[in-house]
């Protein structure tokens, strides 16, 4: 397998969806909790990217195995189109999952059992998203699971790994006594969940846009996603609502002190976001319509990152 084919199998270009929760999580740890752990952050980044590549490879592998359309299987799917061995792809997937698991266990030993639970749940959802007799991606649950797993899961794990001093939540286990206790700060946990919502919504919108575009092909391949049940018209309306909700989250977060005033720079991106939403609705169901979901994710979360960076710079100047 050539490097070019490998990068297509793991769809390296799609890793922005996991990169944004990672970066925002690091910056939020600094702005809200004033903590940062370089080694934990770097280790998790490597494991996260490798596991993300594995789940994408699983998606392509399962789509190839379950394809009902010969045209899709041998002309559109990268495995059939490139003539690579499905067994090779399967072994590659096992190798990447194993590598990510080693990093996860290493971090859990250093930071506590809570990471093992959070990471384990995210990994299981990631694997069964496209694997198994009834994958989550073939049900009207894809948007929910992809948004929460990546938008909240990655974000919360990054914050947890960086807040080693007075963590917002911590699980203590005593095997000798057979006891455990979960400790945390309700308001800090709520702040973490709230700050993750724009990531949850923009990532869910990528899956929604994909399903809106591919509705006919999905039906042909027996994939009954959310769009199959609510229709393209309502799906397009939901796409707009999720994107606009990101601004409500930021504004309310600012009002309640989760963010500082530099975060309001996200408002500068609104005209471009609005234009993309209108173009998306106009171009459906053409393949090019999907690009607007990616553009919105980049523009909004890019401005989100910029707002957090400006907050850090302002705090440094004032200190």
Question: What are the pLDDT digits (tens) for 174-230?
Answer: 888 888 888 999 999 999 999 999 999 999 999 899 888 887 777 777 778 888 888
Inter-residue long-range contacts of 273-279, CB under 8 Å, 24+ positions, other chains counted: 273/243, 273/299, 273/300, 277/239, 277/240, 277/243, 277/244
**Contact by Cβ (8 Å): 169, 114:** yes
Model confidence at 44, pLDDT cuts 50, 70, 90, reads very high
CA dist 303 and 264 (Å) reads 9
pLDDT higher than threshold 90 for residue 262: yes
Q: Where are the domains of the chain?
A: 3-318
- 237-269 burial, b at 16+ Cβ within 10 Å, e below that, comes to ebbbebbeebbebbeebbeeebbbebbebbeeb
Supply the mean pLDDT for the chain: 89
User: 95-129: per-residue pLDDT in tens?
Assistant: 999 999 999 999 999 998 899 999 989 888 877 87
311: nearest Cα among 254, 233, 255: 254
pLDDT higher than threshold 80 for residue 56: yes
Provide, rounded to the nearest whole percent, the portion of the chain with pLDDT above 90. 50
Which range has the top average pLDDT, 107-116, 153-162, 287-296?
Answer: 153-162
CA dist 104 and 48 (Å) reads 9
Q: What is the pLDDT of residue 202?
A: 95
37: nearest Cα among 143, 110, 115, 129: 110
Model confidence at 132, pLDDT cuts 50, 70, 90, reads low
Q: Look at 57-71, 223-237, 280-294 and tell me which has the smallest mean pLDDT.
A: 57-71
- Tokens 């948004």, located at residue: 147
Sign of the CA dihedral with 203 first, then 18, 124, and 1 last:
positive
Q: What is the pLDDT of residue 85?
A: 85
Q: What is the pLDDT of residue 310?
A: 96
pTM exceeding 0.75: yes
């Amino acid at each position: 397998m050539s490097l070019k084919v490998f990068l297509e199998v793991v769809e390296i270009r799609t890793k922005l969806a996991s990169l944004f929760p990672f970066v925002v999580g690091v910056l939020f740890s600094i702005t809200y909790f004033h903590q940062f752990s370089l080694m934990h952050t770097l280790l998790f980044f490597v494991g996260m990217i490798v596991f993300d590549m594995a789940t994408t490879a699983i998606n392509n592998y399962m789509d190839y195995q379950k394809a009902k359309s010969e045209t899709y299987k041998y002309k559109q799917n990268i495995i059939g189109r490139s003539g690579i061995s499905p067994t090779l792809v399967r072994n590659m997937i096992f190798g990447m999952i194993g590598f990510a698991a080693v990093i996860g266990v290493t971090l859990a030993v250093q930071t506590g059992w809570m990471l093992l639970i959070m990471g384990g749940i995210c990994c299981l959802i990631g694997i069964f998203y496209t694997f198994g007799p009834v994958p989550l991606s073939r049900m009207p649950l894809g948007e929910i699971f992809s948004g929460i797993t990546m938008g909240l899961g990655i974000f919360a794990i990054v914050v947890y790994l960086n807040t080693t001093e007075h963590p917002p939540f911590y699980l203590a286990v005593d095997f000798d006594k057979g006891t455990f206790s979960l400790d945390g700060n309700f308001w800090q946990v709520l702040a973490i969940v709230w700050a993750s919502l724009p990531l949850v919504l923009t990532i869910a919108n990528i899956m929604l846009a994909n399903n809106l575009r591919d509705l006919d092909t999905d039906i042909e391949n027996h994939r009954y996603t959310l769009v199959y049940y609510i229709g393209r018209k309502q799906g397009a309306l939901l796409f707009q609502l999720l994107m606009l909700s990101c601004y409500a989250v930021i504004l309310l977060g600012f009002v309640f002190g989760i963010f500082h005033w530099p975060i309001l720079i996200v408002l500068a991106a609104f005209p471009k976001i609005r234009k993309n939403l209108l173009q998306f609705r106009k171009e459906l169901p053409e393949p090019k319509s999907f690009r607007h979901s990616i553009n919105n994710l980049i523009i909004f979360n890019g401005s989100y990152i910029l707002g957090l960076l400006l907050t850090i710079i302002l705090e440094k100047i004032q200190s």
